[in-house]
Amino acid sequence: MEPVVGIDLGTTNSEIAFIIDGNAKVLKDKDNGIVPSCVGLDNQGNIITGVEARNQAAIAPNRTVLSVKRSMGSETKFQMNDSSYLPQEISAFILKALKQRAEKLLDKKISKAVITVPAYFTDAQRQATRDAGAIAGLDVIRIINEPTAAALAYESTNPKNQRILVYDLGGGTFDVSIVKIEQGIVEVLSSTGDNHLGGDDFDQKIVDLLVEHIEKELKLTVAGDPVVMARLKHAAEKAKITLSSEPYAGIEEDHIGKKAFKDIHLSFELSRTDFDMMIEDALIRTMESVNKALKDASSLPSAIDTIILVGGSTRIPKISDMLEEKFNIIPHSEIDPDLCVAIGAAIQAGREMGLDSSSVLLDITPYTFGTSAVDELDGITHMHKFVPLIRRNTKLPANKSEAFYTMVDDQEKVEIKIFQGENPDALDNILLGKYIFNLTRAPAGSVIILNFDLDLNGILKIQAVEKKTGKKINAVIENAFSRFTDLELSASKERIESEWGSPEGVAEESEVSSETETEIDQGMPADLAETIKQAESQLDAAPSEDRDEIINLIEDIRDAVKEKDLDKAGKLREELEDILFYLE
C-alpha cells in the first residue's frame, strides 16, 4: 500500500501527519511538529526553510519570504536576492521540507499527499496548491477544506450526526465555518472570515504599547531600530502566550539602547485583563464573522452542537469565554489547535489508503477543576461561585493560573477550596480539598495567584502566591481523577438534587438514629460533610471546652441541613472552621 501523508499548508505554520498504528500522528522531528511556513536564502545563497528561515526574517527581509499562502493563485513574484519566484514555487519549498521530514521519520519514500486549504479558496488557489505539490514531487490526490479536516479529527473521537462551528484563528488569518456531519459525511455549509486578522496583530498591539512605554518612561526612541523592534516583537509574542495560562506576564529585555553612555533595560508587566482589552475590538470582529457564518448557513446559534477551536491563537482564554457565552457550549480544544487540521488531513489520507478506523489518541482530563470565589451568580452575589481553572477535556498535562483579589483591607487569611465539577455553584460540585493561606496585611484588592498543575496521572498540584510578597503555599491532591468516576459523580449529583427536593427523604434520614456518622451525613452538601468529618477527627485531641462547642456546632449544622436552611448551615460551618483552624 503506497503511503499517503496529510499536510496542513498554513499561512504561518505547516505540519505533516500520517497514520501510525491506527492513529493519526503529526510527525515531530526533535520539535513539536510545527514547521514555520517560511522560505529564505542563507548567506551562501542556499535555500533554507522552517525555523531557520523564520529566524533570519527580521534581519534579512530581502531574502526571506513569509505568509506566501496569502498570494497563492496570484501572479505575485517573490524576490529573494536576485531570483524571483512564483507563490507555488515558494510553497513547493515548504512542501519539500515536509516531505523530507516524513521520509526521514517514516523511512519510506513519500509521493502522495492530501493537502488542506481554506474553505474560501477559489479554483485558481486550489490549482496553485496542487501545482506546488507537483513541483515538490508530491501527487496531491485530494485537496480538502481546513474546517472539514478539523471536523474529521474530532469526528473520529465522537462520531455522530452534528452541526459544528469551526473557529480558526491563527497567526495571520481568521476563518469561521459551519460544518454538517451526517452519516460520516462532512459538508461545509458556510465559511467566512478575515484574511488579515490573527495573532500577529495581537503581538503588534503589545509592541506598540512597549514602544510607547519606552518613549515615555525610558525616554528612548526605538521605532527605527529593526533589531530592537524584532526583539520587542519576539518578547511580545512570548508575553501573549504566557497570558494564555498566567494572569500576568513580565517582559524583560536588557540593553535596548543607551542614554548618556548608560545601558537602558526594559522591564514591563502586562496583565491578562489589559491584554484582553487591547484585543477586544478584534475579537468583536471575529464574532461578527461568526454571526455571518450562521446566517449564511441559515443556522441559529441553538442549532450548533459542537464548537471546535483551531489555530494557535484560540488558546487565548477570552476566546473560549466569548464563544461559551454566545452558544452556551464549552468549545473543544482537546486536540492540539495547532495540529488539528493536519491530523484531519492524515485521517483523510488514511481513508485514501483504505484505512478506515484511524483515530486520534487523546490524553485529556475528564473533569473540570476549579476554586470558588465571591461573585455574581444569577444576578445575586454568591459566596461560592465556581471558578474553573482547568476545564474538562483539556489536554494533559495542563497548567493554568488565575488572579484573585482580597476583599477587605488587612485581610488576614483566605480559604482556598478546590472543587471538581461543572456546576456554576461551587457548593454543588465535589470538594477535593481546602487550604488556609495566611496573608500579609495589605489593602483590599491585593492579588493572589492560584496555579493548578494537572498531570497525566491525575496528580493535581496547587500553588497560591501572594503577588506582592512572593509568599506561597503548595498542596497536592494525589489522585484527582479517581475520587469519583463518571457514574459516581452523576449518582452523587442525582442523590443531592433529589434529596434537597424531597422533604420526606430528609425526614427519613433524621429518624435513623442508629446510623453511623457517614450515613447520617448522606445527602449533606459535600463541603459541609467534609467539615464535619474533619471536626470529628479532631474531637479527641481538642480541649474539653472546645470539644463541647464543636459537638454543638456539628449538631446545629445537621439540624440546619434537615431544616433545609443552608445559609444557616453555612454560617455555622464557618464558626466550626474557625475553631478547627485555631486548633490546628
Indicate the residue among 341 and 432 with the shorter CB distance to ligand AMP. Answer: 341
Does position 391 interact with ligand AMP (CB under 6 A)? The reply is no
Is 200 a binding residue for ligand AMP by CB under 6 A? The answer is yes
Task: Work out the angle at residue 533's Cα, subtended by the Cα atoms of residues 531 and 534, and round it to the nearest 5 degrees.
Answer: 65
Find the binder of ligand AMP among 229, 241, 329, 475 (CB under 6 A). 241
Of 131 and 338, the one with the shorter C-beta distance to ligand AMP is 338
Cα three-residue angle 343-347-348, rounded to 5 degrees:
120
Q: Which stretch binds ligand AMP (CB under 6 A): 60-68, 155-163, 192-200, 476-484?
A: 192-200
User: Is residue 385 within 8 Å of 424, Cβ to Cβ?
Assistant: yes
Does 155 contact ligand AMP by CB under 6 A? no
Angle between helices 526-538 and 566-583 (to 10 degrees): 30
> Does residue 198 contact residue 186 with C-beta atoms inside 8 Å?
no
Min separation Cβ 313 and ligand AMP, Å: 4
Q: Which residue is nearest to ligand AMP (CB)?
A: 199
15, 25, 69, 434: which one is catalytic?
Answer: 69
170 forms part of the interface with ligand AMP (CB under 6 A):
yes
Size of the chain, expressed as the number of residues it contains: 584
What is the rounded distance in angstroms from the CA atom of residue 155 to the CA atom of residue 149?
A: 10
132, 209, 235, 316: which one contacts ligand AMP (CB under 6 A)? Answer: 316
Burial (Cβ within 10 Å: 0-12, 13-18, ≥19) of residue 372:
buried
- The CA–CA distances, whole Å, from 569 to 223, 518, 527 equal 62, 17, 11
Is 286 a binding residue for ligand AMP by CB under 6 A? The answer is no
- Selecting among 8, 402, 466, 527, the annotated active-site residue is 8
* Residue 146 binds to ligand AMP (criterion: CB under 6 A): no
User: Alpha-carbon distance 318 to 338, whole Å?
Assistant: 18
- Interaction between residue 313 and ligand AMP (CB under 6 A): yes
Question: CA-to-CA distance for 465 and 447, rounded, in angstroms?
Answer: 9
Q: Minimum distance between the CB of residue 276 and ligand AMP, rounded to whole angstroms?
A: 12
Residue 153 in contact with ligand AMP, rule: CB under 6 A: no
> Which residues, in sequence order, are CB contacts of 76 under 8 Å at separation 6+?
86, 87
Residue 550 in contact with residue 576, Cβ under 8 Å? Answer: yes
C-alpha cell at 544: 474539653
Among residue numbers 326 through 365, which ones bind ligand AMP (CB under 6 A)? Answer: 338
Question: According to the binding rule CB under 6 A, does residue 240 interact with ligand AMP?
Answer: yes
| Residues sharing a CB contact under 8 Å with residue 281, sequence separation 6 or more, in sequence order | none
Quote the strand ranges of 69-213, DSSP E: 78-80, 83-85, 112-117, 139-145, 162-169, 174-182, 185-194
Sort 262 into a burial class: Cβ within 10 Å, 0-12 / 13-18 / 19+.
exposed
Q: Which of 425, 419, 428, 387 is nearest to 525 (CA)?
A: 428
Q: Residue 312 CB, nearest distance to ligand AMP (Å)?
A: 2
Q: Give the range of 23-31, 240-248, 284-292, 548-556 binding ligand AMP by CB under 6 A.
A: 240-248
Among 89, 155, 168, 577, which one carries the catalytic annotation?
Answer: 168
Position 50 contacts ligand AMP (CB under 6 A) = no
8 catalytically annotated: yes
> Smaller CB distance to ligand AMP: residue 153 or 489?
153
Regarding 394 and contact with ligand AMP (CB under 6 A), the answer is: no
Active site includes 146?
A: yes
Compute the least distance from the CB of residue 465 to ligand AMP, in Å: 21
> How far, in Å, CA of 397 to CA of 242, rounded?
16
Which CB sits closer to ligand AMP, 57 or 106? 57
Q: Which of 15, 89, 146, 499 is catalytic?
A: 146
Given the complex with ligand AMP, which of 39 and 316 has the nearer CB atom? Answer: 316
* Least distance in angstroms from the C-beta of 548 to ligand AMP: 55
By CB under 6 A, is residue 311 in contact with ligand AMP?
yes
- C-beta of 321: minimal distance to ligand AMP in Å? 14
Query: Alpha helix (H) ranges present in 60-167?
Result: 87-106, 123-135, 146-155
Question: Is the CB of residue 15 less than 8 Å from the CB of residue 337?
Answer: no
Q: Residue 418 is which amino acid?
A: I
According to CB under 6 A, which residues from 1 to 20 bind ligand AMP?
A: 10, 12-13
> Closest CB to ligand AMP among 131 and 246?
246
> Which residues does the annotation mark as catalytic?
8, 69, 146, 168
- Residues making contact with ligand AMP (CB under 6 A): 10, 12-13, 170-171, 198-200, 237, 240-241, 244, 311-313, 315-316, 338
